[in-house]
Amino acid sequence: MSTSATSGTALIQGTSYTSGAGIDVTSTVNAIITSKQTPETAWKNDQKAITSQEAALATLQTEVASIESSFQSLNDFSGVFSGLTTSSTNSSVVSATTTTGAAAGTHKITVTSLATTGVSYSNALATASTTFTAGSLVFSVGSGAQQTINIPGTTTTDASGTTTTSTTTTLTAAAAYINQQGAGITASVVTDSTGSRLALSSNASGSTGSVNVQSAPGGLSFTNVAGTDAQLTVDGVPLTSSTNKVSTAIPGVTLDLTGTSASEVGVDVAPDKTKITAAVNSFITAYNAAITDLNNQFQSNGTSASSSAGSTGTGVLETDSAARITQQQLLSSVSVVTSSNATFKTLGSLGITMGNDGTLSLNSTTLASALDNNLSDVQSYFQSTDTTSFASTFANMMSAMTDVTNSPIVLDVSSLKDNYTADQKNIDNLEATLATLRATLISQYSTLDALLKTFPTTLNQINTELGYRTTTSSS
């Protein structure tokens, strides 16, 4: 028994209505419903295309945001052009680092002496384990108050658990105990060919951090060696420092003193051209990623397996207006010729040129020359607020492109979502209608099925009454 999917009056073919077999209600109704679901194919295909477009637009949106972020590094007054780096003509004597507030410039440094740490050391004992009488260590650090550390004797516990404390201790035990007190000194045991000594070093360098031992436990005597301040001149001004890290001589610059020299050492604080170059390369990379993606959307790339035979494959945004607008704006934005810069009129004058495919490339030699010879004009090219400048034009374009409410991509995605919703509503409405139709058809064809199954009995009764036959047969 076969069914037709197009007519409710010719659903049963090749079957006698008087056979008693009836009809296949489920198959018959399914065939009718399937024939009426045909419009859904177009709506579902549209939804599939919309989903692909949304994914491609999301990628493009991320790429555009990356362009803006990389450009901000160049455009922001606190970006890479504000970064400074330091160099020294003799780093074995002095090197430098910059912090907030530093300014570009060259400084002349002469280091006469380095800061040292004050120390007080004991007389030599035979070994670090040699005992001496426990007792009070009285000392002061710099001009600080006098301090006392009562060094205890060695404590031992015998096999029965009885604890005893002797009247003596060792250099090793004394050093460990002193270091637990947090008294501004660090104790250590120093051993050489003459024996072992207890050394007390100040935790602060310079003359104000000297350790002065006034009295010591029996058996120990101390020699005090005062700490000294660093002596240096910065741009001809004599200075002293209690440490070898000098952070107050030059605003925003910390000098690290590591040696002495009778001759001046040059310390140069200058814009970090390495970071500027890296930022330019990051901008080019981000820009090229978006342009390459857009090129792939609009350029033929051969026969597509998903398209009809003989057609060429392009991206899912081939007909998307927002993608086309984005491509046009990006390409035109890097071609701006500005009159607001004294030296550089185009990106090309900085060594940034466009290829036939719209992507950018950098001539590092040209950029390096520009940074070495006209740094301020390079900075102005990327940071000018003149409305005709590249910086202003590109910044305004990126602001419009990344607007979370009204950018072309955001509006396009919103429109696509509305279309997807409309397709789904059409599908849902049709399915609701077909659900009602299915129930009606099942009822109608079930009644017909039941009626057809009674035909043999009814026909036999009629024939019997007419005297044609007495047994049931098919006709």
| Contacts with 215 (C-beta within 8 Å, 6 or more apart), sequence order | 136, 137, 138
Same domain for 286 and 259:
no
In a domain, 205, yes or no: yes
Whether residues 305 and 368 share a domain: the answer is: yes
Pairing mode, if any, of strands 222-225 and 117-122? antiparallel
The pair of structure tokens assigned to 28 is 């018959």
pLDDT computed for residue 55 by the predictor: 94
Same domain, yes or no, for 151 and 295?
A: no
Q: Quickly list DSSP for 395-434.
A: HHHHHHHT-TTTSHHHHHHHHHHHHHHHHHHHHHHHHHHH
User: Where does residue 351 fall: left (phi above 0), alpha (psi -120 to 50 degrees), or beta otherwise?
Assistant: left
d(CA 257, CA 234): 12
Q: Is the pTM of this model over 0.85?
A: no
Cα–Cα distance for residue pair 106/130, rounded to 1 Å = 56
Q: Strand 105-113 vs strand 185-192: parallel, antiparallel, or unpaired?
A: unpaired
Within a domain: 73: yes
Q: Is residue 27 part of a domain?
A: no
b vs e for 93-111, b when ≥16 Cβ sit within 10 Å of the residue's Cβ? bbbbbbeeebeeeebebbb
Q: What is the pLDDT of residue 199?
A: 97
Residue 277 burial by Cβ neighbours in a 10 Å radius (0-12, 13-18, 19+):
middle
Which residue from 328, 333, 323, 330 is spatially nearest to 411, judged by alpha carbons? 323
Q: How far apart are CA 396 and CA 414, in angstroms?
A: 23
Same domain as 68, residue 214 = no
Q: What is the pLDDT of residue 1?
A: 39
CA 38 to chain centre: 48
Question: Which pLDDT does position 2 carry in this prediction?
Answer: 42
| pLDDT score recorded for residue 6 | 46
Integer Cα distance of 218 and 202 in angstroms: 23
Instruction: Report the DSSP beta bridge partners of residue 186.
Output: 201
The torsion angle over the Cα atoms of residues 364, 368, 370 and 371, rounded to 10 degrees, is 130
Whether 375 is in a domain gets the answer: yes
Q: Cα 471 to chain center, whole Å?
A: 89
End-of-domain residue from the set 360, 383, 402: 402
Residues 264 and 175 in one domain: no
CA distance 414 to 405: 10
Q: What is the pLDDT along the chain (475 residues), one digit of tens a residue?
A: 344 444 444 454 445 556 667 788 899 899 999 999 999 999 999 999 999 999 999 999 999 999 999 999 999 998 999 999 999 999 999 999 998 889 999 999 999 999 999 999 999 999 999 999 999 999 999 988 999 999 999 888 888 888 888 999 999 999 999 999 999 999 999 999 999 999 999 999 999 889 999 999 988 999 999 999 999 999 999 999 999 999 999 999 999 999 999 999 999 999 999 999 999 999 999 999 999 999 999 876 554 444 433 345 578 999 899 999 999 999 999 988 988 887 999 999 999 999 999 999 999 999 999 999 999 999 999 999 999 899 999 999 999 999 999 999 999 999 999 999 999 999 999 999 999 999 999 999 888 888 888 877 777 788 788 876 555 444 4
Residues 148, 209, single domain; the answer is yes
Please state, in angstroms and rounded to a whole number, the distance separating the CA atoms of residues 365 and 380. 20
Task: With respect to residue 446, please indicate whether it lies within any of the assigned structural domains.
Answer: no
Report the pLDDT value the prediction gives residue 53, as an integer from 0 to 100.
Answer: 93
Task: Give residue 7's pLDDT.
Answer: 47
Backbone angles phi, psi at 247, to 5 degrees: -110, 0
Identify the domain boundary among 271, 302, 332. Answer: 271
Asked if 287 and 187 sit in the same domain, the reply is no
Residues 392 and 279 in one domain: yes
Closest CA to 108 of 272, 271, 230, 263: 263
Rounded distance between C-alpha atoms, residue 69 and residue 250, angstroms: 33
Looking at residue 308, what is its pLDDT?
39
pLDDT at position 17: 59
68 plus 187 within the same structural domain: no
Instruction: Name residue, tokens 């270091």.
Output: 179
Domain that holds residue 191: 117-228
pLDDT for 245 equals 96
Within this chain, do residues 279 and 237 fall inside the same structural domain, yes or no? Answer: no
DSSP secondary structure code for residue 350 in this structure: G
Residues 237 and 100 placed together within one structural domain of the fold: yes
Give the CB-side neighbour count of residue 150, counting CA atoms within 13 A. 2
Instruction: In whole angstroms, give the CA distance from residue 256 to residue 372.
Output: 27
| Residue of 316, 319, 314, 292 whose CA lies nearest to 302 | 314
182 with 287, same domain? no
How do 265-271 and 94-98 pair as beta strands? unpaired
Other beta carbons within 10 angstroms of residue 164's beta carbon come to 10
The count of domains in the chain is 3
User: Could you say which DSSP state residue 389 is in?
Assistant: S
In a domain, 309, yes or no: yes
Which residues, in sequence order, are CB contacts of 233 under 8 Å at separation 6+?
108, 109, 110, 112, 239
For residue 20, being part of any structural domain is answered with no
> Does any domain span residue 4?
no
What pLDDT score does 313 carry?
55
